[in-house]
Amino acid sequence: MGSASIIAHTIHQKFNLKVPNYRQEEDWHKLGLPISRKEIANWHIKSSQYYFEPIYDLLHEKLLEQPILHADETS
């Protein structure tokens, strides 16, 4: 797993600057760091699971506590 700062940098590159993983992979290789696009994708998945699953679980729990749920099921 990469450091928090490298993972944050790759997430910023991907989602804010729209730099795809294959271009990030090329940039890291130019700097002498053999970081693959697969590794970058795995960092994003694992960090999102680590940081967002607890929030998702809490929201899900709060939702289930409600007596009535309203949903728009149109497609």
What value does the mean pLDDT of the chain take?
96
Confidence class for position 1, pLDDT limits 50, 70, 90: confident
pLDDT at 47: 95
Host H or E run for residue 49: helix 37-65
Domain span including residue 19: 4-65
Give the global pTM: 0.77
The residue to which tokens 């709060």 are assigned: 62
Asked if residue 73 is part of any domain, the answer here is no
How far apart CA 52 and CA 48 sit, in angstroms, is 5
Asked if residue 70 is part of any domain, the answer here is no
Q: For the chain, how many structural domains are there in total?
A: 1
Q: Half-sphere exposure of 44 toward its Cβ, with a 13 Å CA cutoff? A: 15
